[in-house]
Amino acid sequence: MSDSPNLVLPRSDLDALMATLDVEVIGLIECLVSPGWRLSFGSADAPSIHYNLSGTGRMVVGGFSAFALVPHTLVITPAKTPFHIEVDDRTAAKTVNVVEAQWDPRFGERVQRFVAGDVDPMVMLICGYFRATYGSSIDLFAGLSTPIVERFEPGDELGSKLQAALAEISGRQVGMQAMTTAILKQVLVTLVRRSLNSTSVWLERFSILSDRQIALAFADMVARPSADHSVMALAQKAGLSRSAFMARFVRAIGCSPMVALRQMRMKRAADMLAARTFSVEQIARAVGYRSCSSFLRAFRQAHGYAPAETEGEGRSAPPALPGESGAAEDDVRDT
């Protein structure tokens, strides 16, 4: 363990959490604001990310104080929080002109542009809405209540990465979604790396990481979803009694250990099924089920269909999974 005060988990556990994080790009936006203008956004169900490519202005998120937007500033705003971007007009004293941005989530597969101003823009940003989850609903940013603000350098290349994501969406080529999600995940990992060396301990604002003992157990579940986990074993790893572990796990993660593990297993099962490489029996064992019938029941409950319905007809049995071993029974056991 590093002596850094900001390192809430061992690096190996943080690596596992970053490697298994699923990132979804909901929509990317170009924002251009001229002097004397304000571009205002209402609240949305997802967190948003903003990167200032050029110019100087300021941003206000919810009821928090305004902060400066200089080139290479990266901002993450909490979900359900309005925000606005504005630039002062230093040449004349006049009322700020306001443009209300009407972002439409139905058009996530194309770039939307919002312009506030009738002259050359002073501030140019790439913005977007996203989700970062484990399983189907465990949201890394769900507990974020205050904005994250970090300043980077041109050499960090975050601007070029996000511009590449814009080009992917504009080009609408095959694999566009995979490319944009991979790019945004790179940006988020870069942000987490920055937190490890930052004087602002904002990593601990995430509910998943705010309770170090629970985070240790959760990271083990994320890294080894097919292992024979039990509530008692996880509680012991966290250094807690069973009752304290259950209560604190639900408070930090938002669901019970059993539900969290099932979500992660079912997400991995869906990914393996989509690859069309392994049989249903092999997938069941790989995600921790000894009983194929229990796996089928859990998969149908999670996804609304049975895995067998997507399998090819007459496909020969694939080779054994590397490192395949005895799998656990259904989800987290109580003992």
For 44-82, the pLDDT digits (tens) are 999 999 999 999 999 999 989 999 999 999 999 999 999
User: Whole-angstrom distance between the N-terminal and C-terminal Cα of the chain?
Assistant: 30
**Dihedral pair phi/psi, residue 135, rounded to 5°:** 65, -140
CATH superfamily for domain 11-205: Regulatory protein AraC (2.60.120.280)
pLDDT exceeds cutoff 80 at 310 = no
Alpha helices, DSSP H, located in 32-151: none
- Give 176-204 pLDDT, tens digit per residue: 888 999 999 999 999 888 877 766 666 77
Per-residue pLDDT of 231-271, as tens digits, reads 999 999 999 999 999 999 999 999 999 999 999 999 999 88
- Helices 212-223 and 242-253, interaxial angle, to 10°? 80
Number of neighbours of residue 222 by Cβ within 10 angstroms: 22
Q: % helix / strand / coil in the chain, to the nearest 5?
A: 40, 20, 40
Q: Phi/psi of residue 249, each to 5°?
A: -65, -50
Do 211 and 203 touch, CB atoms closer than 8 A? Answer: no
Domain ranges of the chain: 11-205, 215-310
CATH topology of domain 215-310: Arc Repressor Mutant, subunit A (1.10.10)
**Structure-token pair, residue 281:** 């029996």
For residues 122 and 185, what is the distance between their CA atoms, to the nearest angstrom? 28
pLDDT average, residue stretch 274-287: 88
Residue with tokens 């790179």, as numbered in its chain? 186
Coil, helix or strand at residue 322: coil
Predicted TM-score (pTM) above 0.85: no
Q: Is the pLDDT confidence value at 160 over 80?
A: yes
